[in-house]
């Protein structure tokens, strides 16, 4: 829980009463966006001083500092600056932030939420029947069939793009994460399902009697429909509530628009959450981006920890392909691993698939997997696509993603959603096509080149510090890549 003011605001003449109040209010407003995530990180951050345009903070280590800077500091500073300006219409100079690193954070902004031992749900009449297993009840055989034995924490390659999600998953598997639910967001093929399976494997290793239910949102929907048709809702609810110690739900975005299923999942979520049973959910979108999803479900997803997985950098991709080669018993030269990682960039599943195809072709032809052989095969596996994309292709992809028309994109409309989509399109054109600023200005409704420069710079800044903007860009880039293949 958030500490009381007297516990984490230093008292003394160095901090005025006004600055103290401003800090308190800004912290509370920033915390509301994602309470559990905020508490997780700010339990390792100390407020030292807000004076003369300088905010001084202490972090336990560089990792905590960098995460707070990237994910919370922009909102926190905006809230403070607005209050210093005296309201929304006031003007205030930008604050400067000074960080100190100390292993001893005496007055943390937040106290880490303590975990509670799981409560026992009242069993339904059906769950008391021990003479025969229920068709809709818990099944260890079904779980074993659903889990990939290779998807363990030891086989998961950790890098800057997935470090938080890995640490959060490991903590959830340990039984005392301090947050519930854990929401893992990331694009297709980046390792979300691997982490889900790894959680299940670790829990079973440490608690063999644990009742784990792992299911996709699609299967949850199908089982719900079947239970309705055959009047077996008591059995369905027993499986997901009374007979469940840990619920793992993959691809929650597929519940979009399914109102009855959403209602049932909402009550299932509440029953497990109230009993302190861990819930882990994955999605290809952040909670706030889930379309046709009721606000009450979205608010529950954001009440825990939202951990994202980004596209891995080159070094991480090289480590991933070498780990896959080791697991599959494939002899792989370092230069071939680098070549694969350079050619397949956006999807780990595609990267591993490219390695398997190389190994299969090598086995069938008797040729070693050297650099020349790999280079020739990669022309077929991952052809260069940059030349296949035009300004019009990017505009169409952006319009499809944001559900706008091309007329909106090149119009003079300055509505926030339209302006942001236009800036994203300009940024992608600049990055992928290397068009000049005047050329892009003409392509977007004869705008001045300085407008394009400002748009590109703004999206670059947002991408570096806002995971949601990064997710938008990755989704559009993946659409451009897939359309180029077809």
Q: Is 457 helix (H, G, I), strand (E, B) or coil?
A: helix
pLDDT tens digits for range 45-70 = 888 888 888 888 998 877 678 778 87
pTM for this one? 0.56
pLDDT at 12 over 70: no
pLDDT tens digits for range 119-133 = 444 444 443 333 333
Which domains, from first to last, does the chain contain? 5-101 (3.30.300.180), 138-309 (3.40.50.300), 314-383 (1.10.8.60), 387-485 (1.10.1750.10)
Give the integer Cα–Cα distance in Å for 268 and 279: 10
Closest CA to 437 of 464, 417, 457: 457
What is the pLDDT averaged over residues 456-485? 82
Long-range contacts of range 72-76, CB-CB < 8 Å, 24 or more positions apart?
72/30, 72/38, 72/41, 72/42, 73/97, 73/465, 74/465, 74/466, 75/30, 75/33, 76/26, 76/27, 76/30
Confidence of residue 196 (pLDDT cuts 50, 70, 90): very high
pLDDT at 92: 52
pLDDT tens digits for range 269-303 = 999 998 889 999 999 888 887 878 999 999 999 88
What is the pLDDT averaged over residues 370-387? 66
Backbone angles phi, psi at 33, to 5 degrees: -60, -40
Averaged pLDDT of the chain: 80
């Amino acid at each position: 829980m958030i500490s009381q003011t007297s516990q984490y605001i230093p008292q003394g003449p160095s901090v005025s009463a006004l600055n103290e109040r401003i800090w308190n209010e800004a912290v509370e407003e920033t915390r509301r966006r994602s309470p559990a995530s905020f508490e997780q990180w700010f339990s390792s951050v100390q407020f030292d001083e807000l004076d003369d345009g300088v905010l001084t903070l202490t972090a336990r280590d560089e990792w905590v500092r960098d995460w707070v800077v990237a994910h919370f500091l922009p909102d926190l500073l905006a809230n403070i600056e607005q209050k210093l300006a005296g309201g929304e219409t006031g003007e205030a100079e930008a604050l400067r932030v000074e960080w100190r690193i100390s292993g001893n954070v005496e007055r943390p902004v937040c106290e880490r939420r303590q975990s509670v031992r799981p409560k026992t749900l009242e069993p339904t009449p059906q769950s008391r029947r021990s003479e025969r297993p229920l068709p809709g009840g818990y099944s260890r055989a079904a779980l074993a069939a659903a889990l990939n034995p290779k998807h363990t924490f030891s086989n998961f390659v950790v890098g800057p793009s997935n470090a938080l999600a890995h640490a959060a998953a490991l903590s959830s598997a340990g039984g005392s994460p301090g947050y519930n639910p854990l929401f893992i967001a990331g694009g297709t093929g980046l390792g979300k399902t691997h982490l889900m399976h790894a959680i299940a494997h670790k829990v079973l290793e440490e608690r063999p009697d644990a009742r784990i239910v792992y299911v996709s949102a699609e299967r949850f929907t199908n089982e719900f429909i079947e239970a309705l048709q055959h009047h077996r809702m008591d059995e369905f609810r027993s499986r997901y509530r009374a007979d469940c110690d840990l619920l793992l739900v993959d691809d929650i975005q597929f519940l979009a628009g399914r109102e009855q299923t959403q209602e049932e999942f909402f009550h299932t979520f509440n029953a497990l959450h109230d009993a302190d049973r861990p819930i882990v959910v994955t999605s290809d979108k952040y909670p706030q981006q889930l379309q046709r999803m009721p606000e009450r479900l979205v608010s529950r997803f954001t009440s825990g920890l939202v951990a994202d997985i980004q596209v891995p950098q080159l070094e991480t991709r090289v480590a991933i392909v070498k780990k896959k080669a080791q697991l599959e018993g494939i002899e792989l030269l370092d230069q071939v691993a680098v070549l694969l990682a350079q050619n397949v960039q956006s999807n780990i599943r595609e990267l591993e698939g490219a390695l398997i195809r190389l190994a299969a072709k090598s086995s069938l032809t008797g040729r070693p997997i050297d650099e020349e052989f790999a280079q020739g095969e990669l022309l077929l596996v991952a052809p260069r696509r940059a030349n296949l994309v035009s300004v019009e292709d990017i505009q169409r992809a952006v319009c499809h993603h944001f559900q706008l028309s091309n007329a909106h994109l090149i119009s003079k409309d300055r509505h926030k959603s339209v302006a942001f989509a236009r800036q994203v399109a300009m940024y992608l054109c600049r990055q992928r096509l290397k068009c000049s600023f005047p050329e892009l200005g003409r392509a977007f409704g004869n705008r001045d080149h300085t407008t394009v420069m400002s748009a590109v710079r703004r999206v670059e800044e947002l991408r570096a510090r806002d995971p949601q903007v990064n997710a938008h860009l990755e989704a559009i880039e993946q659409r451009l890549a897939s359309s180029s293949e077809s």
